[in-house]
Amino acid sequence: MKSLSFFIILFSFLGWNIVSSKDILAEKNYIEEEVTDGGNIVGSVKYMGDLAMLKLDLYGGWELTDTSKNASEKLIASRINNGLKYAVISITNIAKGKKRLIPKTHPIIDQQRSNFIPHVIAILAGTTIDILNGDEELHTVHTRTIKNQPFNLGTTYRQRISRKFDYPEIIKLSCDIHKHAYAWIVILDNPYFDITDRNGYFEICDIPAGTYKLNVWHEELGNIEKEVTVYPKKITNVGFVYSQN
């Protein structure tokens, strides 16, 4: 069974970009308008599983490999309230709403001590990201997309690479020299999304009243979808729970 699930995980990684981006692809032709009496969605994502099990390196043996020396950020949940970090929450079927504000300051992904910081980043389509190298050694930044232009660049200390992402997609950014290091860039085409903090909380504001599909994506645990109704100037509370299985 273990080997089976291992293969499933492996396989899903290979096909991840294609499969998962379809899951949370929002509707096209989003119409921008002024939202005056929008409601908010506030909530949390929890992971009720056993973390220790997942951190055990079955193949590493007693000798710790380079990979396991670096704490994996694949699955981080708060020990206090089981809040899950790095889950991306988005409304997938919203046709019109607040303006798509593309940040003027480029969000940053830094490579420090051979790890990408932050591990997951969610951006609006059309945003430019700056990818830095903070280590005094060579890294590469490698993406394997089809619609967004892929890239694979070698970077040395203090290099800054700016890349614009035009199409909604979930992109895995990796370094071929440090195989354990990777980050996720989640690109969405409407501004109603958030990423959970270290206690699993998120907040999405200024949503026109209505019923929407709210989707949560996590790299390891997959997608959960819920229908949520938003009332004008009210706060709707939502809780997502990933159980062990």
Partner 1 sequence: MKPKVLLDKVGLWSATVVASTALILGVAPMTAKAINVPTAVTEDGKNTYKKYCSPCHGEEGKGDGPLARSMLPKPRDFTRGAYKFRTTPSGSLPTDEDIFRTISYGVPNSTMIPWDILTEQQRASIIPVLKSFSEAFEVRKPEPPVNVGLEIRPSEKSLAEGKKIYEEKLECWKCHGVEGRGDGPSAAEQEDDFGFPIKPFDFTTGKFKGGNSDRDVYLRFTTGLNGTPMPSFAKELTDEQRWCLTHYVMSLIKPEETCK
Please say which residue, 67 or 236, places its beta carbon nearer to partner 1.
67
- Assess 156 for contact with partner 1 (CB under 8 A): yes
Q: Minimum distance from CB of 142 to partner 1 (Å)? A: 7
Q: In the 8-state DSSP scheme, what is residue 77?
A: B
87 neighbors 204 (Cβ within 8 angstroms): no
Binding to partner 1 in span 175-194, by CB under 8 A: 176-177, 179
Please say which residue, 49 or 134, places its beta carbon nearer to partner 1.
134
- Retrieve residue 237's tokens: 């509370």
58 in helix, strand or coil?
coil
Q: Minimum distance from CB of 19 to partner 1 (Å)? A: 14
- Assess 158 for contact with partner 1 (CB under 8 A): no
- Gap between the Cα atoms of 100 and 126, Å rounded: 10
Interface region with partner 1, contact rule CB under 8 A, candidates 35-43, 99-107, 173-181, 217-225: 173-181
Backbone angles phi, psi at 55, to 5 degrees: -85, -15
**Could you say which of 42, 95, 117, 153 contacts partner 1 (CB under 8 A)?**
153
Interface region with partner 1, contact rule CB under 8 A, candidates 69-77, 135-143, 201-209, 229-237: 135-143
Q: How many residues does the chain have?
A: 245
Q: Minimum distance from CB of 33 to partner 1 (Å)? A: 27
- Assess 147 for contact with partner 1 (CB under 8 A): yes
Q: Minimum distance from CB of 36 to partner 1 (Å)? A: 36
Q: Tell me whether the omega of the peptide bond preceding residue 107 falls within 30 degrees of 0, making it cis.
A: no
CA 213 to chain centre: 18
Q: In the 8-state DSSP scheme, what is residue 149?
A: P
Interface region with partner 1, contact rule CB under 8 A, candidates 26-34, 49-57, 148-156, 209-217: 148-156
Q: In the 8-state DSSP scheme, what is residue 83?
A: B
Binding to partner 1 in span 8-47, by CB under 8 A: 14
169 neighbors 187 (Cβ within 8 angstroms): yes
CA dihedral of residues 85, 86, 91, 97 (deg, nearest 10): 100
Q: Minimum distance from CB of 134 to partner 1 (Å)? A: 16
CB atoms within 10 A of CB 102: 13
Interface region with partner 1, contact rule CB under 8 A, candidates 109-117, 156-164, 209-217, 236-244: 156-164
CA 230 to chain centre: 24
Contact positions toward partner 1, by CB under 8 A?
14, 137-138, 140-144, 146-147, 149-156, 159, 161, 167, 176-177, 179
